[in-house]
Every structure is written in structure tokens, then in C-alpha cells.
Amino acid sequence: MAQVKSGDTVRVHYTGKLTSGEQFDSSAGREPLEFTVGAGQMIKGFDAAMPGMNVGEKKTINIPALDAYGEKDPAAIIEFPKENVPDDMKLEAGMQLTLSNQQGQPFPVVVVDIKEEVIILDANHFLAGEELVFDIELVEIV
């Protein structure tokens, strides 16, 4: 029976959870996720779990933050001038917004705090700093 090796294109079903058990993503009800093992298309810990798996095999893996979306980066906490926010925009802590960088590329941020002159925004990935748990089922080696 063929086992997954680096460079193989695979199709998997997965469920991603936090260590609290809270689910943040799943392929249930969708087509399996297809990617090339070792090509950097997946977070490091997910990619590293694939070699050696057989079609039909299921496993649960824990991925530390460093091998997932990294630790929270304090440099990704942004002070945004309140004067640059449209008057009719009602901001609340926890709100998700999209800003554009200097090249015009959009990136998501979360409103952390609203102060008198600035809004504190967090541009870290929402899973940064989190240990992740994935249930993986290898559906196919393409």
C-alpha cells in the first residue's frame, strides 16, 4: 500500500479545533482539501503529519503555535488614528475590519480597543498563539 511522501499531492478531510475543543474549520460537507505535501501550501505542523499516512487512515495531531500560525507578534498591534475613520462608522471591540497595506493589498484586522485619539487594531492571524488540533483523514494520493 502506498504511503504519503514529500512531493505527493494528497486529498484529505479535516477538522481543525482549538485545545478547548472549539472548532474553527472543517472540510465536512465539502470536497476534500487537496495540496502537495512539503510544498509550503499548508501550515508546517499539518504538512509534517502527512508523510507515512496510508489512504483511509485517520489521525489526530496537536500542532504547537510555532508550527501553526506562529506566536502573536506585538508589532502587528497597530494604533490607527481615529480621525481616519469615517464619522458614520460605528466601531466596537471585537469587530473585524479590512485595511489595505501600502501596496493596496487587503489584510484583516480586529478592533481591540477604542481610545480617545486612536483605535488599537490587531493584525495577527486569528489563530496566532494558539495550539491547534486537527483530525485528518487521508482520502487519496493523487
pLDDT, average across residues 113-122: 94
**CA of residue 59 relative to chain centroid, distance:** 20
C-alpha to C-alpha distance for 36 and 79, rounded to whole angstroms: 38
The residue type of 101 is: N
3-state secondary structure of 65: helix
pLDDT, average across residues 92-120: 91
Identify the H or E element spanning 17. Answer: strand 9-18
3-state secondary structure of 105: coil
pTM: 0.83
Identify the H or E element spanning 122. Answer: strand 118-122
Task: Quickly state the pLDDT bin for 13 (edges 50, 70, 90).
Answer: very high
C-alpha to C-alpha distance for 95 and 92, rounded to whole angstroms: 6
The residue type of 81 is: P
* Cell numbers representing residue 103 in the block: 501596496
* Structural domains in the chain, sorted by start: 9-70+127-141 (3.10.50.40), 74-122 (2.40.10.330)
Per-residue model confidence as pLDDT tens digits over 40-86: 999 999 999 999 999 999 999 999 999 999 999 999 999 999 988 88
